[in-house]
Amino acid sequence: MRTEDIVIGCCGFPVGIEKYVGVLDAVEIQQTFYRLIPEKTAQNWWQKVTSIKPDFQFAVKAHQFITHRPGSTYAKAGIVIPEEKKGNYGDFKLTEEVLGAWNHTLKIARELHSNTILLQSPPSFNQSPENLANLRNFLAEIRAKDFLIFWEYRGKWSEETVKALCEEFEIYHCVDPTRKKPVSGKYYYFRLHGGERYRHTYTLDELENLASEIKSLDGEKAYVFFNNTSMFNDAQKLRALVK
């Protein structure tokens, strides 16, 4: 893979925007998962960032209303769902709440001039007939040819099922490359979580191996986002090795 097609950044801004944009290529926006942020906020981000680096890239993490049932992540965002409506949220159900959150995610992505969206399902979303049906119906409903859709599953799913879904709906498998390999190709999305409690700082050997692995990929583009406590430093080190 060409080095210019390898995009490296962090999950969120771990330092000030000016400092971050000065040394990295992209960011995965986390706020879009927790809250339905105003479109004006996204416009301001894009204007500020591109005034520093015009070719800077955004990836957007889709809102939790789509993927997660009401629970701890909702509480973290200060969101309270009435008991009688909790069944309308999460698990990719085709409800007004889920589709509304998806449409808002698309609006924010467009304001950020981004075609890259991450769907992250929780550990509780395992492969079952109901969950598979929900996911297939959702992916059929949202088909958007102008977006790259990546799915990071944290529950138990067979690789055969994941590969089949990726091929049928033209989505791509997001993974932590230190733990497993993606079952889809062409476009890649790697999230490095830093092990338990996000505390691991990647060694030079680990980053050299990762750089070599990414450069050897046969595809059009690879996004690499660090999500550990030392993400800013680790991302810069990997960028230096790749570029």
CB 59 within 8 A of CB 24: no
Phi first, then psi, for residue 181 (nearest 5°) are -105, 145
Average pLDDT, the chain: 96
% of the chain surpassing 70 pLDDT:
100
pLDDT digits (tens, 9 = 90+) for 37-88: 999 999 999 999 999 999 999 999 999 999 999 999 999 999 999 999 999 9
Helices 39-52 and 96-111: angle between axes, nearest 10 degrees: 30
- Given a cut of 90, whether residue 144 has pLDDT beyond it is no
Domains present along the chain, CATH in parentheses = 28-199 (3.20.20.410)
Burial class (CB in 10 A: 0-12, 13-18, 19+), 230: middle
Beta bridge partners of 186: 219
Helices 159-169 and 129-141: angle between axes, nearest 10 degrees: 20
pLDDT of residue 28: 98
- Given a cut of 90, whether residue 197 has pLDDT beyond it is no
The Cα 100–Cα 228 span in angstroms is 31
Residue 12: DSSP 8-state: S
Count CB atoms within 10 A of the CB of residue 71.
15
CB 83 within 8 A of CB 114: no
pLDDT of residue 145: 75
Q: Which residues, other chains included, contact 230 with Cβ-Cβ below 8 Å and sequence gap of 6+?
A: 194, 201, 202
| pTM for the model | 0.96
CB 98 within 8 A of CB 92: yes
Pairing of strands 172-175, 148-153: parallel
pLDDT of residue 76: 93
pLDDT of residue 87: 97
Confidence of residue 5 (pLDDT cuts 50, 70, 90): very high
Helices 204-215 and 231-242: angle between axes, nearest 10 degrees: 50
pLDDT of residue 195: 84
